[in-house]
Amino acid sequence: MKAEDYIALEDRYGAHNYSPLDVVLAKGRGVWVWDVEGRRYMDCLSAYSALNQGHCHPAILKALTEQAAKLTLTSRAFRNDQLGPFYQEICELTRSHKVLPMNSGAEAVETAVKAVRKWGYSIKGVGLDQAEIIVCENNFHGRTITIVGFSSHESYKEGFGPFTPGFRMVPFGDAEAVEQAVNENTVGILVEPIQGEGGIVIPPDGYLRALRRICDENRMVLVLDEIQTGLGRTGKLFAEEHEGIEADATLVGKALSGGFYPVSAVLSNSEVLSVFMPGEHGSTFGGNPLGCAVARAALRVLTEEGLIDNARRMGGRFMDALSRMNSPVVAEVRGRGLLIGLELIPEAGGARRYCEALRERGLLCNATREHVLRLAPPLIITEEETDWALEQLGEVLGKEAGVSPDV
């Protein structure tokens, strides 16, 4: 079958809730992927940071296949021999007291919302069903009804109501607005340390420290959604470290399994995860032995191969070169580590067609929001590979870049 045949099948039988680039991939190794016609591309999206360790990392593959041949699922009605070691390893690595594993990122967010509400009622003493959680404009926390209900992005929520009450929205990056939104029913704030889907938006210096202080002063739980920014992406294990703070609850997903398998978790350093009693929360696949074995290997790769430090160094190399590129269509370059956004001028006509032009040159990336081109290669990327990517970006966005529809 040719690429167009695969695309025709998807169009005919699948729901049309995506608009992917028309590249049909069949194989991946490290930072590279190949399409069904054998063309090679560098993956500069990494499945939104789920592939920090690169495609088909051999150590994670080995853990997956070995565990898959032994035991894959027990449900949590029974215990399994991967769960305890996974708990210990992730808590020691992240200096957390407790962990609650789930599958998708959205489930980790939902779990945190439940935990923070219950903490509010049973420990803080908020009146029943009165709890409020503060969230930020332009957020992205996933796609369930509760989560899209507190999105400010119309296309995420339009036509999907009615929504879950109990959330209050404030502008992102504005600590004063948070302070003003707090009342006696406020139990916590849920925020991304850097807004990823929102366009790689980095808050002003001191923002996370201010949130930490507000949470301490008002007895609120600080929940950081590090599903995209965590596990090395920004050049630190967690983006919170750039401001020297610790969240009360941290959400991880995506790279937690190195792209092999959906594994997410809520990590906590406070009493917030202690509120659940048997029967109050769960998931058939959450904490299954296959997922635990994969996550253990994925975390080992992250630390043993120095990927966090590499993200910092290669991110610096990207940022230096991109800032010097002097492109007529780039208004701003934003980034931390290997989470980089190029904000294009409105006259450039949207980031999508620059992604198409880069695809033609063998580099895959995507647009987030209409005018932001996102670069987030696997953290294993080498200097040579970084320079190759910069060369392609220079060709497409550099001095000669056109603002006409054909780029």
Ligand X SMILES: *Cc1c(COP(=O)(O)O)cnc(C)c1O
String of b and e for 290-322 (b: at least 16 CB within 10 Å)?
Answer: bbbbbbbbbbbbbeebebbebbbbbbebbbebb
Mask for 72-111, x = binds ligand X (CB under 6 A): --------------------------------xxx--x--
Q: Where are the beta strands (DSSP E) in 203-338?
A: 221-225, 249-252, 264-268, 330-336
Catalytic residue among 118, 124, 236, 254: 254
227 binds ligand X (CB under 6 A): yes
DSSP string, 104-133: SHHHHHHHHHHHHHHHIIIII-PPTT--EE
Residue among 54, 101, 188, 196 that touches ligand X (CB under 6 A)? 196
Q: Residue 106 burial (CB < 10 Å; 0-12/13-18/19+)?
A: buried
Nearer to ligand X, 253 or 291 (CB): 253
User: Of residues 53, 96, 186, 228, which one binds ligand X by CB under 6 A?
Assistant: 228
Binding to ligand X (CB under 6 A): which residues in 16-55?
48
In DSSP notation, 300-351 reads HHHHHTTHHHHHHHHHHHHHHHHHHS--TTEEEEEEETTEEEEEEPGGG--S
- Nearer Cβ to ligand X (373/401): 373
36/47 with CB nearer ligand X? 47
Options 35, 132, 225, 385; binder of ligand X; rule CB under 6 A: 225
Annotated catalytic residue, options 86, 140, 150, 318:
140
Which of 87, 119, 140, 354 is the binder for ligand X (CB under 6 A)?
Answer: 140
Catalytic status, residue 225: yes
Would residue 254 show up in a list of annotated catalytic residues for this protein? Answer: yes
What is the dihedral angle through the alpha carbons of 371, 309, 227, 151, rounded to the nearest 10 degrees?
-30
Question: Residue 105 Cβ, how far from ligand X at the closest point, in Å?
Answer: 2
Residue numbers of the site for ligand X (CB under 6 A)? 48, 104-106, 109, 140-142, 192, 196-197, 225, 227-228, 253
Which residues are annotated as catalytic? 140, 225, 254
